[in-house]
C-alpha cells in the first residue's frame, strides 16, 4: 500500500502516513470483531440467518431510532445482533472528515467490519447517512446478505425534528457540506425496504419495518 501510495502521490511521507492509517484501521477492525464475537460466544445465528441491515437516509430521518428499537427487539428474542452507528463509529475515529472521499472511505471501512460480523453469524444493524450510491454498492458487494433500508423522511420533516440541532447550525452557516443542503444525498434506486416516517408514529413505522424484514429475509422474527 505504501509504495502504491508513493507512486500516485509522489511523496514518501504521505505514503507512509496512509499505510500506517490503514494498518491501524485493520488492527482496530479485527479487534472490534473479535471482541463482539467473544461477547456473543454461544449465541450465533444459523447459516443464512445472519445479514446486514443497512439503514440510510438524511440526518434526522430516524435511522438510529429505528435501528436501536430493532436491536432491542431482536436481542430480546435471542438473536445475535450488533449495532454500528454513524456517531458512535466517528467517535472512535474522530479525524474522519466530511469530504466525498472521506465519507466514501468511512462507509467502506464500516462495511468491511459489518461483512466480517455477518460472516461469523451476527445480524448487523448499521445506521449511516451514507449519502452516495457508489459506496453503498461497495458495501453491498462485500456482504453475503445485504438489505438496504431507506428511511425516506423528507427534508422538511428532518428540519422540523432537528434532534441534534444540526439544521439550525447549517442555517447559521456554522456547518458546511451538510447532506441534503449543500451536499447531495443520492436516494437508493432499488432498496429492499422503504420506510416512510412523515406524519407517522414510531410504532407504526417500526411494525412496517418488522414485516418488511421478514418478507425480504424469509426469517421469522416475531413472537
Name residue, grid cell 431482536. 74
The predicted-structure confidence for 60-80, as pLDDT tens digits, reads as follows: 999 999 999 999 999 999 999
Order across the sheet with 52-56: list the strands. Answer: 81-85, 123-127, 52-56, 146-151, 193-195
Q: Which residues of the chain have pLDDT under 70?
A: 1-48, 223
CA angle 194, 200, 206 (to 5 degrees): 55
The predicted-structure confidence for 171-203, as pLDDT tens digits, reads as follows: 999 999 999 999 999 999 999 999 999 999 999
Report domain extents, the chain: 1-39, 43-217
Bridge partner list, 124 = 52, 82
**Chain mean position to CA 219:** 21
Residues acting as catalytic residues: 130
**Chain mean position to CA 161:** 21
CATH architecture of the domain 43-217 equals: 3-Layer(aba) Sandwich (3.40)
In contact, 65 and 163? CB cutoff 8 Å: no
Q: How far is CA 72 from CA 35, 76, 77, 125, in A?
A: 20, 6, 9, 11
Amino acid at each position: 500500500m505504501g509504495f502504491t501510495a508513493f507512486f500516485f502521490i509522489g511523496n514518501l511521507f504521505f505514503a507512509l502516513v496512509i499505510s500506517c492509517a490503514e494498518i491501524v484501521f485493520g488492527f482496530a477492525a479485527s479487534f472490534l470483531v473479535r471482541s463482539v464475537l467473544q461477547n456473543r460466544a454461544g449465541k450465533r445465528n444459523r447459516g443464512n440467518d445472519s445479514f446486514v441491515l443497512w439503514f440510510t437516509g438524511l440526518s434526522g430521518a430516524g435511522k438510529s431510532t429505528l435501528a436501536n428499537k430493532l436491536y432491542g427487539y431482536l436481542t430480546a428474542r435471542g438473536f445475535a445482533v450488533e449495532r454500528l452507528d454513524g456517531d458512535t463509529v466517528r467517535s472512535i475515529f474522530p479525524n474522519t472528515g466530511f469530504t466525498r472521499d472521506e465519507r466514501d472511505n468511512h462507509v467502506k471501512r464500516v462495511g468491511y467490519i459489518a461483512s466480517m460480523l455477518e460472516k461469523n453469524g451476527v445480524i448487523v444493524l448499521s445506521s449511516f447517512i451514507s449519502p452516495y450510491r457508489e459506496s453503498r454498492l461497495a458495501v453491498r458487494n462485500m456482504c453475503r446478505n445485504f438489505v438496504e433500508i431507506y428511511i425516506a423522511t423528507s427534508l422538511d420533516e428532518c428540519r422540523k425534528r432537528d434532534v441534534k440541532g444540526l439544521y439550525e447550525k447549517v442555517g447559521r452557516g456554522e456547518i458546511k457540506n451538510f447532506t441534503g443542503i449543500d451536499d447531495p444525498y443520492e436516494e437508493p434506486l432499488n432498496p429492499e425496504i422503504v420506510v416512510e416516517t412523515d406524519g407517522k408514529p414510531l410504532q407504526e413505522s417500526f411494525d412496517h419495518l418488522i414485516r418488511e424484514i421478514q418478507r425480504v429475509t424469509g426469517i421469522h422474527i416475531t413472537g
